Amino acid sequence: MDLRYGMNPRQAADATPVRPGRWPVRVVHGSPSYINMLDALNGWQLVREASRSLGRPAAASFKHVSPAGAAVAGPVDEVTAELHGVDRAEVGALTSAYLRARDADPKSSYGDLAAVSHPVDEELAELLAHVVSDGIIAPGYAPGTVDRLGRKKNGRFLVLEADPDFVPPEREARELFGLRLSQRRDEAPCAAELLENVVCGSLPTTAVQDLLLGLVVLRHTQSNSVCFLRDGATLGIGAGQQSRVDCTRLAGAKADTWWLRRHPAVRALAFRPGIRRQDRINWQIRFVEGDLTADENTRLSAALSQPMKELTAGSRAEWMARLKRVAFVSDGTLPFRDNVDHAQRHGVDHIAEPGGSIRSAEVEDACREHGIALARTGLRLFHH
């Protein structure tokens, strides 16, 4: 299969099945690039595993080989419903999963590759037609949905179909600078049994579900990585940082932004007719971040039909104190207690990490101090 281009447009690229004639995915519409295929294959593995582990339809929004967000089917809140103009009571399961996944970090999901665990129905196809997205991978498509999606982006929208019965080879390899690296495929199950070693506190069923989803998400996220989750959806993912605490701070900031977008002052931003959805999202996030430049302040004011209400430090702190029941998962051992100290600032009540650090006792002590339940999985989930 010839690819549109490689990592960069100047690089020619192609794809060949490891087993001749055994393709895990087929192109239904469009022309994928090298990175499109990386996003699609990682995204499909994530949603397939998440759906099997949690027993619900799953979705992910991928950018640059890591998920911007991931979720299983569940209730769509008022903020997300209003933003996308959907009826909360009528949203189908698969569409709800994608809406919740995309809402974790909607700025980063701009131009994503969507991945869903179940065949695309008319409802999801209609939603995708109205968001900025570059493509989708799914195990099938309802009649008429490919034609609907194929008209998107002037016919350039990518539609890929995954083979749900495909079994990958036991070993995987990559070639880099004249060297072939090979390893056994990581097939350790992400199951609830991994969370049985609770060294402090206790895990209610909802926390187990969130932590389990987090383990699946991080298996397919560029390491180092951590994620914050709540009610079956990611709130913030920190990926690819050299320092684990930097991952925690990055993901925590995204979780804060997700929560503050639900603040009354943010919801009161009255945009003028004609302001596009993505522009509204970007302005909401910049307003939440609180460091608008003079030029941005002028342009935001011009985009509003009435003056914005101030989001004061006191109001911000009071709102953040309401964020509870957040789960935190790390793909590798927490090396210092600083990750726990930062995590508790973002409503974290439950943590799962492999354990085994020389300072694991200090990490446990920090969890006890903050009243956080800690589960040690014994399973590292690095992904590169």
Across 110-132, b (16+ Cβ under 10 Å) vs e yields bebbbbbbbebbebbbebbeebe
Q: Are 29 and 149 contacting, i.e. CB atoms less than 8 angstroms apart?
A: yes
Query: Is 342 known to be catalytic?
Result: no
Catalytic one of 84, 224, 350, 370: 224
Question: Is 370 annotated in the active site?
Answer: no
Q: CA-based diameter of the chain, in Å?
A: 63
Give the total residue count for the chain: 384
Q: Is 384 a catalytic residue?
A: yes
Q: Which residue has the tokens 């698969």?
A: 94
Active-site residue (options: 29, 36, 42, 63): 63
Distances (CA, A) of 11 to 3, 4, 6, 281, 302: 10, 9, 5, 34, 43
Annotation marks residue 324 as catalytic: no
Give the strand order in the sheet containing 373-376.
25-29, 158-162, 133-138, 112-116, 58-63, 66-72, 233-239, 225-230, 326-330, 348-353, 373-376, 198-200
Measured between alpha carbons, how far is 293 from 313 in angstroms, rounded to an integer?
18
Encoding tokens for residue 123?
Answer: 């409802």
Catalytically active residues, by annotation = 63-64, 224, 384
